[in-house]
Structure 1
Amino acid sequence: MFKVNSVEIGGDNLFFILGPCVIESEEHVIKMANIIKEIANSLNIQVIFKSSYDKANRTSLVSYRGPGIREGLRILSRVKKEVGLPITTDVHSVEEVFIASEVVDMIQLPAFLCRQTDLLVSAGKTKKPVNIKKGQFVAPHSIGPMIEKVKSNGEDRVCITERGYSFGYNNLVVDMRSIQIMKSFNVPVIFDATHSVQLPGGLGNSSGGEREFVPTLARAAVAAGADGIFMECHDCPDCALCDGPNSMPVNEIESLLKILIGIKRIVG
């Protein structure tokens, strides 16, 4: 167990990573952060806010990527200072790791880059907690070397996020056994309930998704022992500039979180 600011990672209570997939505008991010903070206060839960300054692996060249690292981090710093939520975001290069570490409370490594040695080692050098999103191509029992790359510089605050496995073309499937397997490495395990229902490249020039299955998978993951739940959310998912098909409507989040908290109490 460790802390990201005041948020306990791997403790007795379930924690959440919530936010829109990408920074669409400063106004939108602050609006979403305030909604999420209200939900956190209402349910007395621990939340880390997540949004990306750059979606570097979009399907199409013309897809919206975000405002870029400098402007994006400036906006995220407002979330931390004015809204009062810890923040995390994806990094894509060694240079970005050190720039982002000056602002964020936890470094997040994208699934497609989860085995990049220089990236993992650099993340460990920042002395910030690190969340590795396990790639769709990595077996749960193969995460050990990824963890050791981060820990090679003495940073032990590492967690792993499960987000499904490639299953044929344009589809993902979740094996809940992976949560138990990865917890055997003595790291907190997070379940990404929204990217796990993504249909990668399923719409041709963008990814599709089946958000109706997010609650089902989230409930199953908590019952299977997940320490935290990652969910991207949006006030209008059908209008979102990235990953709308697999994002949860933010007005449906609170009721789902109540159920997940109840399941966590039952399973201990």
Structure 2
Amino acid sequence: MKINPLTDIKNADSSNFFLMAGPCAIEGETMALQIAEKIVAITDKLNIPYIFKGSYRKANRSRLDSFTGIGDEKALKILNKVGQTFGIPTVTDIHESGEASIAAEYVDVLQIPAFLCRQTNLLVAAAETGKVINIKKGQFLSASSMSFAVDKVKESGNDQVILTDRGNTFGYQDLIVDYRNIPEMQSFGVPVVMDCTHSLQQPNQTSGVTGGKPQLIETISKAAIAVGADGLFIETHPDPATAKSDGANMLNLDLLEDLLAKLVRIREATL
């Protein structure tokens, strides 16, 4: 039976981080269940609290002909089935205020995309659902600026907030991770997550398809755990080359267990 994700995190062994992981987009029921089953087995083995991630719709696309989803209701029902089948919390991103109450019927955590983290109406609508709210830090913002996003949710009557860093943009077509952001955002009294895959994106390529550097996922995640991140966000897929969205920066699912085992050892060594 599922419980509140933040309660699960707080009750977990203090030596462990928590994990948000899954495909970039929900491509189908079979795929989602297979990915969840494998990650549940890994995280149970390593005693890592786990939240399944999948976007029911991709609203931020470079090109008009990019994949956006299999249909909102269909994808949301799949997310709900994943949660019910494995007894795990689920998270998906929302893009407009009207989506908050709809998505909240199916998932446990509502995620605010980085480009939308300043949208007051969206944050308030998400807060009013009573769900846990994961706010991704805008690539264009400092860590200190995210205190206002946290305040908007809390002042709307919801103190269940997570912040996720996904790098900063300092130029064209690349992102840089500033690990000072993790302790600075933790000072707001909320768990802080490092997005280890989107922080390696190379957006706005001339092809209109976002690139990435997945070979550095281990580097980003190791550094985040060493710094003291409360959780990690990792998009993963059995075959990233055929993924319908963000395949260029996703982790191959077969590499996840070895990576997480290394990260658990790093966390234990830093306590």
- TM-score (structure 1 length as normaliser): 0.96
Q: Does 1:137 align with 2:140?
A: yes
Corresponding residue for residue 248 of structure 1: 251
Q: What residue identity is the alignment partner of 1:243? A: D
Q: Which runs of 4+ in 1 moved over 3 A?
A: none
Superposition deviation, residue 224 in structure 1: 0.8
- 1: CA distance, partners of 2:187 / 2:206: 37
> 181, 187, 198: which is aligned to 2:190?
187
Q: What residue identity is the alignment partner of 2:8? A: V
Q: Does 1:7 align with 2:15?
A: no
Corresponding residue for residue 92 of structure 1: 95
- 2: CA distance, partners of 1:194 / 1:214: 6
Q: What residue identity is the alignment partner of 2:269? A: I
> 247, 253, 258: which is aligned to 2:261?
258
User: Secondary structure at 1:226's aligned position in 2?
Assistant: coil
User: Secondary structure at 1:257's aligned position in 2?
Assistant: helix
- Name structure 2 gaps, 5 residues minimum: none
Q: Does 1:165 align with 2:168?
A: yes
Corresponding residue for residue 214 of structure 1: 217
Superposition deviation, residue 267 in structure 1: 1.9
Q: What residue identity is the alignment partner of 2:35? A: M
Corresponding residue for residue 47 of structure 2: 44
- 1: CA distance, partners of 2:240 / 2:176: 22
Q: Is the 8 A contact 1:17 1:48 kept in 2?
A: yes
Q: What residue identity is the alignment partner of 2:193? A: I
The Cα offsets for residues 75-131 of structure 1, whole Å up to 9 and x where unpaired, read as 111101112221000011111100011111111111111110000011111111110
Corresponding residue for residue 128 of structure 1: 131
Corresponding residue for residue 106 of structure 1: 109
- TM-score (structure 2 length as normaliser): 0.95
Q: Is the 8 A contact 2:92 2:107 kept in 1?
A: yes
Q: Is the 8 A contact 2:164 2:195 kept in 1?
A: yes
Alignment of 1:196-207 (within 5 A): 196-202=199-205, 204-207=207-210
- 1: CA distance, partners of 2:10 / 2:96: 25
- Answer with 77-86 or 191-200: which moved more: 77-86
Aligned residues: 267
Corresponding residue for residue 231 of structure 1: 234
Q: What residue identity is the alignment partner of 1:109? A: I
Identical aligned residues as a percent = 44
Q: Does 1:66 align with 2:69?
A: yes
Superposition deviation, residue 45 in structure 1: 1.7
Q: What residue identity is the alignment partner of 1:252? A: L
User: Secondary structure at 1:130's aligned position in 2?
Assistant: strand
Superposition deviation, residue 10 in structure 1: 9.2
Q: Does 1:31 align with 2:34?
A: yes
The Cα offsets for residues 154-177 of structure 1, whole Å up to 9 and x where unpaired, read as 211101000001121110000011
- 2: CA distance, partners of 1:37 / 1:183: 27
